[in-house]
Structure 1
Amino acid sequence: MPKKLTLVLTAIFLMIMTACSAKSTDTSVATTPGSSPAATQATTATPQADKKLPRVAFVYIGVPGDGGWTYEHDQGRIMLEKELGIKATTVENIPEGPDAERVFEELAQKNEIVFGTSFGYMDAMVNVASKHPNVKFLHATGYKTSPNLGTYMGREYQSAYLVGMAAGKMTKNNHLGYVGAFPIPEVIYTINAFTLGAQSVNPDIDVSVVWSNTWFDPATEKQAAISLLDKGVDVLAAYQDSPASIQAAAERKVWGIGNDSDMNRFAPETYISNPKWNWGPYYVKTVKSIMDGTWKSEAYFGSMKDGITDIAPLGKNVPADVKVLVEKKKQDILAGTFEVFQGPLIDQDGKVRYEQGKKMTDEEILGTTWFVKGIKGVIPK
């Protein structure tokens, strides 16, 4: 090969190698030792996302598999994650008491927002909130608030009234039963609303109440249900998170009413309906307000109109005329033309608590410690 051609080819080769070397040097600047460009991009993107999205945690009294209370809260969490792109932390099966306070303390050190989903968490959340003023705490069903602690609840009594109407139409012997969870205001006023709804279509109704003192204990709740069934009630309602009561009723071929979530699948042949929760919109709205800096502590008491509570579809064996009756009253509630707790309201001892036309205030409803006329049972002190 002629020397001149050899020199030309050598020069071209050196130019190509120099260009490749320069390209390699540029790439190494964009990476860190031992990482690929893709890994570096993920590393730098994550902190930016973390700054925009708060860390959120939920504390559950039970497990989502309960098919009731905790299941519906978990559905709300899922909606929150989908709408805001947040991956929340969940802690399940946390009993009310000292263990709860320990869990809330640990979560407060790692999260900006903490939701507690049981009444009995109240004092634990109050104590932990006082130590972490920069963390927002939201407590379901409680009544104590502070600058960084709010409460949230829905007017489940509206749904309970509608279910009571259906129960009043379905009974044959006018004797209904109700398995109460704990003798706290939210349970008491729900039983009252159920009774008033039943009496609105059947004034001869009476409702026998027993207490399980549980939120989720199927064995105990079933025994409580059986004690009422043995007394001859032909419609049985319950306030617990499990379907144990309506399953016990189904075994006796007695109409059953569940709680918290649509429980039709547990006793489809004898199912009437039940109050149903929908927490998702509240969780989304609340977290958004915290993110944009507009959140303020409050005692939120939502309604059927807000969508936080509703009535599950009436069972397949509930007559069409009953479904029409209940739907009409539901529309009255949504339109604001009907109030559940409006006088005359008479307690089980015959005392007039509210005169004709007088409405109970929210504070009075949330502080209810008495049963309406027609309820057989005592409220333990």
Structure 2
Amino acid sequence: MKKLLTAAVLSAALATPALADTTKVGFIYIGPVGDFGWTAGHDRARQELQEHFGDAVETSIVENVDYGADAERVMTQMALSGTDMIFAASFGYGPDVNAVAGRFPDVAFQHATGYIQEHDNISLFDARFYEGRAVLGHIAGKMTETNTIGYIASYPIPAVVSGINSAYLHAKAVNPDVNFRIIWTYSWFDPALEADAAETLIEQGADVIMQHTDSTAAVRVAEDAGVMAFGQASDMTEFGPNAHLSAIVDRWAPYYISRVQALKDGTWEAQNSWMGFAEGIIEMAPWNDRIPAELQEEADGLIAAISAEEYHPFTGPINRQDGTAWLADGEVADDGALATMDFFVEGITAEFPN
């Protein structure tokens, strides 16, 4: 990685910006801004960015953009129209960002959750979602009465896989009898498919539903079925006041603001940033009152320990699913291993997808 963004840099960037010519910033989204999940979180950050800079920044968005030709077309049009910085807010835009960035070296590209960086005008940024999944797993392991937790997963990419593994490890640590059932949707946003997955998991005995998909469908199904659920990327309490225990809430605004400020100052350069609790990029939605006070305190303590780097969610001993050793006792996974994770940990019985 070229350079990691620190909490201090993020904090400094939130100072009142100096007056400058209007900077045009474009955003390309995989889903609708009204998904109440991933895309909604990014657009909240865009609105905070706009409010922070006022007339010194002009933002634009294009939502529901598929990977491939559509993404290239949209980003090319943005670049040709004089856009100074483009945020591509989905993992699958990697090849498209790199194709367009090569043709427009004077445009600054920011790719969320990406890993392909072929040009000097591309920055990659991501959140340590596995930190939040550890907290959710801890709560789920103690709250489940059936010992079965359902997990609706999108694509088998490292960010999703590490989240499943983190949640499982921390649920298992507090409940040795826990079992994870996993359904892959191969989609980020498909309310009907997510609802079907939630219903299937509940039929299989799950009384807690987790998701790494973006709609509120699973929370709604959980509410109707009288089981518990965690939202995704945003606080989804209003869609399941009884079911919704909490959620990882994405807070991209500090990063967005810092990057645009750097561009306006003439100091922007390509960098890789992987941020979590410590930088305030992720936080937990308010705890549901049905979570016992003692368990809420445990969750808060886990967040504090992770934030202070006193504890890492992937600390050995941890084996791979086939029983082979991965991390020795006390060994901590490095970022490279987490960024390329392509296996389940020992204890998860689901078959790893192709």
TM-score by length of 1: 0.85
8 Å contact from structure 1 (residues 236, 245) kept in 2: yes
The aligned counterpart of 1:71 is 40
Runs of 4+ with >4 A deviation: none
1:35-114 correspondence to structure 2 within 5 Å: 52-85=21-54, 86-110=57-81, 111-114=83-86
- Closer/same/farther in 2, CA of residues 55 and 303 from structure 1, 3 Å limit: same
Show the counterpart of 1:182. 155
State the match for 2:342 in structure 1. Answer: 369
**Higher RCO structure (Cα 8 Å, ≥6 apart):** 2
Q: Percent identity?
A: 36
Partner residue, 1:226: 199
Counterpart contact for 1:149–1:297, Cα < 8 Å? yes
> Are 1:209 and 1:376, in contact at CA under 8 Å, matched by a contact in 2?
no
Aligned-partner SS, 2:23: coil
Q: 1:53: how far off? A: 2.5
SS at match of 2:209: strand
In 2, Cα distance between the equivalents of 1:206 and 1:296? 45
Separation of aligned partners in 1, 2:202 and 2:323 = 27
What letter is aligned with 2:286?
P
CA distance in 2, matches of 1:247, 1:377: 25
Residue 316 of structure 1: SS of its match in structure 2? coil
CA apart distance, 1:357: 1.4
Deviation at 1:50, TM superposition (A): 10
Partner of 1:326: 299
The offset of 1:378, in angstroms, is: 2.3
Runs of 5+ unmatched residues, structure 2: 1-17
Q: Is the 8 A contact 2:67 2:93 kept in 1?
A: yes
Q: Distance in 2 between matches of 1:276 and 1:308?
A: 8
Find out whether 1:272 has 2:245 as its counterpart: yes
C-alpha distance in structure 1 between counterparts of 2:51 and 2:208, whole Å: 39
Which amino acid in 2 is paired with 1:235?
V
* CA–CA separation in structure 1 for the residues paired with 2:335 and 2:106: 29
Of residues 108, 114, 128 in structure 2, which corresponds to 1:136?
108
Please point out which of 88, 92, 105 is paired with 1:120: 92
| Residue 352 (str. 1) matches residue 325 (str. 2) | yes
Q: Partner of 1:8 in structure 2?
A: none
- What amino acid is aligned across from residue 70 of structure 1 in structure 2? T
Q: 1:213 aligns with which of 170, 181, 186?
A: 186
Give the Cα separation in 2 of the matches to 1:121 and 1:288. Answer: 24
Q: Is 2:148 the counterpart of 1:148?
A: no
Give, in angstroms, the shift of residue 271 of structure 1.
Answer: 1.5
1:335: Cα distance to partner? 1.4
Residue by residue, what CA displacement relative to the aligned partner does 1:108-149 show, whole Å, maximum 9, x if unpaired? 112010000011111000000000000000000010112001
Task: Write 1 or 2 for the structure with the bigger share of helix.
Answer: 1
Q: Which letter maps to 1:135? A: V
Aligned partner letter, 2:190: D
Q: How many residues are paired up?
A: 333
Alpha-carbon distance, 1:203 to partner: 2.2
The offset of 1:298, in angstroms, is 1.4
SS in 2 for 1:87: strand
Gaps of 5+ in 1: 1-48
Q: Deviations over 1:192-241 (max 9, x none)?
A: 11111212221221211110111111001111112211111111111111
CA distance in 2, matches of 1:329, 1:50: 41
Q: Is the 8 A contact 1:162 1:329 kept in 2?
A: yes
Q: CA deviation at 1:380?
A: 2.0
Cα distance 1:51–1:333, how it changes in 2: closer, same or farther (>3 A)?
closer
Deviation at 1:316, TM superposition (A): 2.3
> What amino acid is the match of 1:160?
R
Q: Give me the whole-angstrom Cα distance separating, in 2, the residues matched to 1:300 and 1:283.
A: 12
Larger Rg: 1
Q: Report the Cα offset of residue 376 of structure 1.
A: 2.8
How far 1:374 sits from its partner (Å)?
Answer: 2.4
Q: How far apart, CA to CA, are the structure 2 residues paired with 1:348 and 1:205?
A: 16
Shift of 1:269: 0.8
1:340 equivalent to 2:309? Answer: no
Secondary structure, aligned partner of 2:213 = coil
Q: How many angstroms does 1:255 deviate by?
A: 0.8
> Secondary structure at 1:258's aligned position in 2?
strand
**Residues in 2 aligned to 1:172 and 1:374: alpha-carbon distance in whole angstroms:** 19
Q: Any conservation in 2 of the 1:160–1:274 contact (CA below 8 Å)?
A: no
DSSP-derived class of the 1:131 partner: coil
